[in-house]
Amino acid sequence: MAGETVITIVGNLTADPELRTTSAGAQVASFTIASTPRTWNRSTNQFEDGQALFMRCSAWRDMAEHCVCSLAKGMRVIAQGRLQQRSYQAQDGSNRTVIELQVDEIGPSLRYATAQVQKMQSGGYQGGNANGGGYQQPQQAQQQPQAPADDPWGAPAGEPDF
């Protein structure tokens, strides 16, 4: 949407994502990404850590469940989303304002790790992706037939190519 601030942040999860359900029935996962800049100090010939940024994040609906099943404390992730500001009154009566990243896309960073991606068979996001979108949980993936070696998504044989 026009006027929204879209950012990308790379950092480590400070805790496992927490899943909750709103009163309207929507699922939301909340988590914090810690991003610490590192710079090279020529005089000491060492890297030095800058001040860490702790960004509160929220992922909604199917992505919330995917985050809880796929991400864990300490994982290095890349998240892209929109900054949102909201104000509320704390229990002590003071007014507070928070800035939060509403996550549109998130995944593990492959800089220092590997990941195995498994596509969901049904459900998930239906818009813009004709074959269901999203990814399935590892337990569900193990129950599916093996994919042909040349199938980059690991989809079971017999599924139409899109």
pLDDT above 70 coverage of the chain, percent: 73
What confidence tens digit (pLDDT) does each residue in 99-135 have? 999 999 999 999 988 988 877 765 544 443 333 344 4
What confidence tens digit (pLDDT) does each residue in 40-72 have? 999 999 999 999 999 999 999 999 999 999 999
Mean pLDDT of the chain: 80
CB contact at 8 A, 65 and 19 = yes
The whole-angstrom separation of Cα 157 and Cα 153 is: 11
What confidence tens digit (pLDDT) does each residue in 78-93 have? 999 999 998 999 999 9
What was the pLDDT predicted at 123?
54
CB contact at 8 A, 38 and 48 = yes
